[in-house]
Amino acid sequence: MNTLTPLNVLFLCTHNSARSILAEATLNHIGRGRFRAYSAGSSPRENQQPNPLGLQVLRAAGIATDGLRSKSWDEFAGANAPQMDLIITVCDNAAGEVCPIWPGHPATAHWGYADPSEVQGSEDQKLEAFRQTLHAIRRRLDLLVNLPPEKLAQQLIQQSARDLSQS
């Protein structure tokens, strides 16, 4: 990776409303221009929007939420889409699905997180689930952005990203 061209990272989940949105916003926030994050879902529901609790937790953490929207992974499989360097699934459903053939054959990794939007309980308990998920995502993304440039070279990024799934 050269220092002028950011590494394009796509986070995938099924509906693109919680975990992948949290990861996209967080990496764009901490990526220091070395990364450009996107997110998408394998099957977002009609009129799907980012989960309001996820947006609330991001804003409380000082992370911008402008422009975040739920979208299909089909947006990133076309000829006019930005070419991805790394694709990370953040839910077990998306990890097991047959993905599109991505232009440029990007590296892939799976970083599984429990779905905070499935937590039952009070509003505070649901909000805490989103906070915990954001914290877990942030911990891995901090490790990713602090990898030395040679670990982000095209031939090594696959292993580097997969190694972080153990962190």
Beta-strand (E) ranges in 77-118? 86-89, 107-110
Q: Catalytic: which of 1, 30, 99, 156?
A: 99
Determine the average pLDDT of the residues in 15-38: 95
Whether 1 contacts 152, CB under 8 Å: yes
Percent of the chain with pLDDT over 70: 89
Answer yes or no: is pLDDT of 133 > 90. Answer: yes
Query: pLDDT-derived band of residue 32, with 50, 70 and 90 as boundaries?
Result: confident
Q: Is 91 a catalytic residue?
A: yes
pLDDT of residue 117: 92
Answer yes or no: is pLDDT of 120 > 50. Answer: yes
Q: Which helix (H) or strand (E) holds 28?
A: helix 19-30
pLDDT of residue 126: 96
Q: Tokens 């990007």, residue?
A: 106
Residues in contact with 90: Cβ distance below 8 Å, sequence separation at least 6, in sequence order: 11, 12, 13, 19, 20, 23, 111, 112, 113, 137
Q: Catalytic: which of 91, 107, 134, 137?
A: 91
Quote the pTM value.
0.88
Q: Is 99 a catalytic residue?
A: yes
- CATH code given to domain 7-159: 3.40.50.2300
**Domain limits, the chain:** 7-159
The per-residue pLDDT for range 35-83, each reduced to its tens digit, is 999 999 988 877 889 999 999 999 999 999 999 999 998 888 878 889 9
Query: pLDDT-derived band of residue 1, with 50, 70 and 90 as boundaries?
Result: very low
Mean per-residue pLDDT over the chain, rounded:
87
- Report residue 130 as tokens: 């989103």
Q: Catalytic: which of 13, 68, 129, 144?
A: 13
SS3 content of the chain, % helix, strand, coil (to 5): 45, 15, 45
